[in-house]
Amino acid sequence: MDFRVDRLRRSRLLPNPENGVRTLMERAPKAEAWLDRVTARLRPTLNSMYAIRRRIATGAIAVFCIWFFVHVMFGANGMVVYRQKKNEYQNLQKEIGGLQQDNERFTHQIDGLQNDPKAIEKEAREQLHYVRPGEVIYVSPPPLPPRSSTDSKSARK
């Protein structure tokens, strides 16, 4: 097997730089003419935009401020939601305070029932209706239910 490489022919993959410069010089007047036409067409628009640039900037800032205000007030974490959460927090704090007072009261009551004989006696008398020997309990009858107006009319007849 023969792996010898013959002499490579010169390939012209890249154009000659002289041709590129020549082409550029030939097309330059056309490009300048096109740029002049576009500039002439856009010049009034650009001049008017330049003249009202402050108004455009002021309008853009006003729109941004309005959007920012709406976002701060009504967004996911806006003032409306903040106030709702604040009210909920205050209500929960009140509920926690009430539950802590109840807990404290029950703790004192349990302590009294475990250590104070008078508290034990009081609960036995009130809840279990216990009495000491020789004591008599007087129980009043339950109150009568109020009579309705229809019952009084039928009783009169």
Give me the mean pLDDT over the 59-88 stretch. 91
Contact predicate 75/82, CB 8 Å: no
**Residue 110 domain flag:** yes
**Residue 109 domain flag:** yes
**Residue 126 domain flag:** yes
Number of separate domains in the chain: 1
d(Cα 70, Cα 64) in Å, to the nearest integer? Answer: 10
**Residue 137 domain flag:** no
pLDDT at 154: 59
pLDDT at 35: 93
Residue 59 has φ and ψ, to the nearest 5°, of -65, -40
- Per the listing, tokens 């802590």 go with 100
pTM over 0.95: no
Q: Which domain holds residue 81?
A: 76-131
**DSSP-based three-state secondary structure for 144:** coil
**Residue 157 domain flag:** no
**Residue 25 domain flag:** no
**Residue 118 domain flag:** yes
Alpha-carbon distances, residue 71 vs 51, 56, 65, 76 (angstroms):
32, 22, 10, 8
Task: Give me the torsion for CA of 30, 36, 37, 40, rounded to 10°.
Answer: 180
Express each pLDDT in 16-68 by its tens digit. Answer: 777 778 888 888 999 999 999 999 999 999 898 888 989 999 999 999 999 99
**Residue 93 domain flag:** yes
pLDDT at 130: 85
